[in-house]
């Protein structure tokens, strides 16, 4: 990786887009990358649409603006598919990772995503309801997102929770995060 990879997250306040962005930056930093992570809020309240951003590179990153033409778009709330224009600024080769039970083909048609763009869908809501008993979709989305960083295995994301969060989380919650990340990686549909 020689260029800067830019990631734009879409979610609602309280769903974990900001935290997911921060964890992505931490995991990739631990793997030797240069990273940035920062949120953008409108009206700062739970449930309001918000964005978070990442930049990742093998070299120092000098850009400090928002991400306007993302290489990767992560949509963690399926109700935002039509509300926030997740394809805005997307390039022909942008990778879209969508929390949805729908197939990539169905989502591609709904959003008008070009066939040259990669699209992945994972039912992160279902995974977190089964693993946590509540909708916190950022962990399985991180698992799906790990497909985009081939030189950093999904196990690095799982290990991050053990090393950084292990003392802060109960064994039950830690295991649920591990399972959610692994399932997000394994259950993602690509198309």
Name the residue with tokens 């802060």: 168
Tens digit of pLDDT for each residue in 54-110?
999 999 999 988 899 999 999 999 999 888 889 999 999 999 999 999 999 999 999
Nearest to 119 by CA among 109, 104, 99: 104
Give the number of domains in the chain.
Answer: 1
Sheet holding 118-122, edge to edge: 34-41, 49-57, 5-12, 72-75, 95-99, 118-122, 189-190
- The CATH number covering residue 116 comes to 3.40.920.10
Q: What distance in Å separates the CA atoms of residue 128 and residue 138, rounded to the nearest whole number?
A: 9
If DSSP codes are grouped into helix, strand and coil, which group holds residue 7?
strand
Question: Mean pLDDT score of the chain, rounded to an integer?
Answer: 92
Assign residue 89 a region: left if phi > 0, alpha if psi is -120 to 50, beta otherwise?
A: left
* Mean pLDDT per 10-residue interval, the chain, length 191 residues: 86 89 96 95 72 96 92 95 90 96 95 94 97 93 96 94 77 92 97 86
pTM, rounded to two decimals: 0.93
CA 117 to chain centre: 17
Instruction: Map residue 9 onto helix, strand or coil.
Output: strand
Which residue's entry shows tokens 């399932």? 183
pLDDT the model gives residue 34 = 97
DSSP code per residue over 22-61: HHHHHHHHHTT-EEEEEEEESS-STTSEEEEEEEEESS--
Alpha helices in the chain (DSSP H): 17-30, 104-111, 124-131, 138-145, 154-160, 171-187
pLDDT of residue 47: 75
For 47, the domain range is: 5-190
């Amino acid at each position: 990786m020689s260029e800067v990879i830019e990631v734009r997250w879409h979610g609602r306040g309280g769903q974990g887009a900001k935290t997911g962005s921060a964890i992505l930056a931490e995991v990739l930093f631990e793997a030797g990358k240069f990273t940035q992570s920062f949120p953008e809020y409108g009206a700062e309240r739970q449930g309001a649409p918000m964005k978070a951003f990442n930049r990742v590179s093998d070299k120092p990153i000098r850009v400090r603006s928002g991400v306007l033409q993302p290489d990767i778009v992560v949509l963690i709330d399926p109700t935002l598919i039509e509300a926030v224009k997740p394809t805005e600024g997307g390039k022909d080769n942008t990778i879209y990772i969508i929390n949805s039970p729908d197939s990539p083909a169905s989502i591609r048609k709904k959003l008008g995503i070009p066939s040259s763009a990669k699209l992945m869908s994972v039912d992160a809501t279902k995974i977190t309801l089964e693993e946590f008993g509540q909708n916190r979709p950022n962990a399985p989305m991180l698992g799906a997102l790990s497909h985009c960083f081939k030189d950093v295995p999904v196990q690095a994301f799982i290990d991050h929770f053990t090393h950084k969060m292990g003392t802060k989380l109960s064994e039950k919650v830690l295991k649920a995060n591990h399972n959610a990340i692994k399932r997000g990686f394994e259950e993602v549909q690509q198309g």
